[in-house]
Amino acid sequence: MMKWVFGGLLLLSIIFGVITDHEAALTESALNSCVDAVELFLYLIGGMCMWGGLMRIAQKAGLTAKLAFLFRPLFVLLFPGLDPNSKAYGLICMNVAANVLGLGNAATPIGLNAMHELEIENRKADPRADSSIASRHMIVFIVLNTASITLIPQTAATLRLKHGALSPFDIFPAVVMTSVIALACGLAVALIFNAVERKKA
Amino acid sequence: MNIAAYTNYIVPALIAIIIVSGFVKKVDIFNEFIEGAGESLKVGIGILPALIALMTAIGMFKASGALDALTGVLSPAASLLGFPPEALPLALIRPISGSGALATFETVLSGVSPDSFAGRVASVMMGASETTFYTVAVYYGATKVTKTRHTIAACLTSDISAFIFSALSVNLLM
């Protein structure tokens, strides 16, 4: 997929730029954008490391586990039929907690483990289940992961500061509202489809 | 007191909570910080090549005038939804590529002020959505699943709602 985005953007730019007489700007940007990329990297890496360090302390102090514990009763609604004492259920709670704290590094391996456990749960529920078909719990879990519920919208705030925003974190309430609603819409679609398909089966 | 003034407490409060719980649980907070920062540094260096590739692609796309042309073509539809046309390119790339979104977000903020409507909508979108296709690929990649059923439909619903509500929430809350 990315090869088409990368190649497509470059070729379209060159064709469009040459037709509309933008060769000079094209050349300049070809030589300069990579410098901008390194500058952007330097601008962001400090904040990434700072929060990475803080969140590692949070994890070691058990804050991820505490947050995961808070999610336990809530997720019963999202994963009907999944045993709350199963390994999969625990991993799902930990994965979401790590995501909320912005611990992407820690969240992904936990999430992959959760997917593996969901495969096992799926076979437990129905020994003849086809393992090439996504189970209903997997779909809900992936929606949870593609929606972004973050405590600190760090990257956005850092770049806002770079470009002279007066109060870079003032987007916080809007970010929370937007991500919660977006997640709710995604979950609603997943759960409705799940319910309809189960009725058919 | 307005909302913006409250948000200035979030970061200091979070740092205080983390440090205090670190002390309470007897975590070696300095060394753990260094360890975590080091991990993030590795991740950051890992994405730098992709960032260079996509900054170049998007930089040239803008320099050629194609980005403005695309925004112009799509802006009537965007206006109908109350969505600022300047933030549209970000909506297009957000679900596909994280580095691409970062590069596009930077390009948007170089064009409009971060405190303008478009700048704020882009910021909210950046904070409130994820690289959907990448996540789906990585998670199903760990299993034998090839038939993803309604996964993409549900995830894209979530993305599209994020775009629409980023504009609505900025209007409502800011």
Q: Looking at this predicted complex, what is its ipTM?
A: 0.89
User: B residues 37-76 near A, CB within 8 Å?
Assistant: 37-41, 43-44, 48, 51-66, 69
Of A11-15, A127-131, A181-185, give the lowest mean pLDDT range: A127-131
Distance from CA of B172 to the nearest CA of A (A): 8
Amino acid at B136: V
Query: What would the 3-class secondary structure string for B102-129 be?
Result: HHHHHHHHHHCCCCCHHHHHHHHHHHHE
- B13 vs A: CB within 8 A: no
Which of B4, B44, B144 shows the shortest C-beta gap to A167? B4
Distance from CA of A73 to the nearest CA of B (A): 23
> Does the beta-carbon distance from B61 to A26 stay under 8 Å?
no
Segment B106-131 shows an average pLDDT of 95
Handedness of CA B2, B105, B75, A175 (dihedral sign): negative
Segment B55-77 shows an average pLDDT of 91
Which residues on B lie below 8 Å from A60 (Cβ)? 22, 25, 27, 32
Domain boundaries, chain A: 62-200
Sort B167 into a burial class: Cβ within 10 Å, 0-12 / 13-18 / 19+.
Answer: buried
> pLDDT band at residue B2, thresholds of 50, 70 and 90?
low
- B4 vs A: CB within 8 A: yes
Which residues on A lie below 8 Å from B55 (Cβ)? 33-34, 36-37, 40
Domain boundaries, chain B: 47-173
Q: Is the pLDDT of residue B135 over 50?
A: yes
pLDDT confidence of residue A64: 87
Torsion angle, alpha carbons of A16, B120, B78, B55, to 10: 20
> Does the beta-carbon distance from A36 to B69 stay under 8 Å?
no
Segment B5-13 shows an average pLDDT of 81
Q: Is the pLDDT of residue B10 over 90?
A: no
Which residues on A lie below 8 Å from B64 (Cβ)? 12-14, 16-17, 20, 22, 25-26
Distance from CA of A137 to the nearest CA of B (A): 11
Q: Report d(CA B134, CA B12) in Å as an integer.
A: 33
Q: Which of B110, B117, B151 to mutate to test the interface with A (most CBs of A within 10 A)?
A: B151
Q: Are A91 and A106 in contact (CB under 8 A)?
A: no
> Does the beta-carbon distance from A33 to B124 stay under 8 Å?
no
Segment B48-68 shows an average pLDDT of 92
pLDDT confidence of residue B1: 46
Average pLDDT, chain A: 92
